[in-house]
Structure 1
């Protein structure tokens, strides 16, 4: 089990900040990029702690299937979908994002923390 300390949260939030508009990233990928492989659930917990004033694009973080967050997050599925659509994200059905088109980083780009992680501090 990982220690969800301030370093963990800052690394996770730093990676979330990097997801560009019009793209989505999975909880698992954020965990890997932050240096915590297999910590997707912990990333989900970190997302639940985000305050509105932090200006993090949490609506761009989705599960591995590309489905929208649980109804209690972001004010419900409609709100998250609206935010994503305003950025140009497209869907293959009511709740599923076109991951082949909008996944970040794209599968053909390096995704290890050593290639994409930002320096802390």
Structure 2
């Protein structure tokens, strides 16, 4: 990936609001590179502390915390996310339906659902 890729990824990472998380795949798509989740992971590994990016908010699609070599370990990542109000299901798993940003769009209700008042 070229420098444009990294710049576009970091622009998207900056947009993730406190109290939310975004997946590597979503960041890739938002940056214009759908399917480049692994490359986003590489981009995250190159971030320097001085850049002050909220990298702790970028997680895998399952919502599990990062391995021990990232963010100072999963306990550190969890502490950062909890301080922002990110909800967890258990000690290692984020409640993705509640915390994910951007929220996946809900499908439009079918006419049958509308007729039934669903």
Q: Please give the TM-score of this superposition, normalised by the length of structure 1.
A: 0.86
Name the SS for the 2:40 alignment partner: helix
**Matched residue, 2:84:** 87
1:37-81 superposed Cα distances (whole Å, 9 cap, x missing partner): 100000000000000000100000000000011110010000000
Aligned residues: 106
Name the SS for the 1:46 alignment partner: helix
**Matched residue, 1:75:** 72
Off by >3 Å, runs of 4+ in structure 1: none
Match of 2:11 among 10, 14, 31: 14
State whether structure 2 residue 43 is matched by structure 1 residue 34: no
Q: CA–CA distance in 1 between the matches of 2:37 and 2:77? A: 19
Q: CA–CA distance in 1 between the matches of 2:68 and 2:25? A: 20
Q: CA deviation at 1:29?
A: 0.3
State whether structure 2 residue 21 is matched by structure 1 residue 48: no
Match of 1:24 among 21, 28, 31: 21
Structure scoring higher RCO (CA < 8 A, sep ≥ 6) equals: 1
Where do 5+ consecutive residues of structure 2 fail to align?
Answer: 107-118
The higher radius of gyration belongs to: 2
**Matched residue, 1:119:** none
Q: CA–CA distance in 2 between the matches of 1:105 and 1:59? A: 16
Q: CA–CA distance in 2 between the matches of 1:98 and 1:29? A: 16
